[in-house]
A and B are shown apart, each in its own frame.
Chain A
Amino acid sequence: MPRVIIPFPLRKHANNQREVVIDGGSLRETIERLLQQYPGFKTLNDDSVLVSIFINHKLVRTAFEKWGELSLNRDDEVTLVIPIAGG
């Protein structure tokens, strides 16, 4: 099952785990299940347009609407990166 690497600010919502294993066949399914399993990740919903996702260290540039078409293998690593901004 794909492993999802959790960004620092969200780890407290996942029992301080660095990574979690999510049973998802596509990127969309994986992210949806992640949000179901860890509702504290609401930030992902608030700023979903700005969240960056990497699959095996490669930045996903596919539009959100097509994430369902991005298949994931059992040993894939999905990394979430929440943008950080300042004035």
Chain B
Amino acid sequence: MISLDQAQEIICPESKWQEVLEHCRRKLAGDYLEGESRMPRAYGLVAGIQTGSALEVERVLPIKKNVRDQEPYKGFMDKVMKEHAVPSKTPFSKRGWMTDPEELKRCYEACDQEGLMVFGTYHMHVVPWKHDPLRDKPTKLDGVLARNSQLFTFIVSMVDMTRPRIRAFYEALEEREVPILIQDKALAQIA
């Protein structure tokens, strides 16, 4: 098994990409599930297997609960926002996602049971910026929050909802991008 940071490619079945998109669209439409944080942001985990130097997405796990406003996370997140976030339409106090440890533990256990490893997280960018109109790259803030995570950060650009995009960066570092191959499973088997 190679280290995640050595991965050369991420293979994502079309169906999993559609699951991520469905999650993003549902949150943006304000259609919340029971027990889900009521905010128009999608955050989730990406899990799968490693085949040679490729990582294959087998499962995406939407995260329901954001504990960003609960201690001890609030103090940490407020500080990080103040130091690293670029001002935008959304106030600092409403920005950032911190996974609930109990929910995260359940996700880890589910992946362990299925023999999958969690190798990334995903979240969406919605608001275009003058210097970054597509918003399909990690921000400086993303990099700070993903530091030492040893995970890939998948950025889902929903700026143009008719043309969503997804890109993956190790520890949310722009220079550590790994290409994603969206693959139709049926066609891949024929090939």
Contacts and interface: CB of A to CB of B under 8 A. Distances in A.
Interface in A30-53: 43, 46-47, 49-50, 52
Nearest to B103: A81
A86 B1 contact: no
Nearest to B145: A85
A12 B72 contact: no
B101 interface: yes
Interface string A52-87: 101001010000000000000000000101111111
Given A8-B118, A46-B148, A86 B101 contact: no
Nearest to A49: B72
Interface residues of B, number: 39
Interface residues of A, number: 25
A3 to B, nearest CB: 13
B153 A86 contact: yes
Contacts, number: 81
A4 to B, nearest CB: 14
A48 B96 CA distance: 20
A50 B105 CA distance: 14
A82 B117 CA distance: 15
Contacts of A83: 73, 98-99, 101, 104
A10 B138 CA distance: 23
B3 interface: yes
Contact of B123 (A9, A82, A86): A86
Interface of B: 1, 3-4, 43, 45, 68, 72-73, 76-77, 85, 95-99, 101-102, 104-105, 108, 111-112, 117-119, 121, 123, 138-139, 141-142, 145-146, 148-151, 153
Interface of A: 7-12, 16, 18, 43, 46-47, 49-50, 52, 54, 57, 59, 79, 81-87
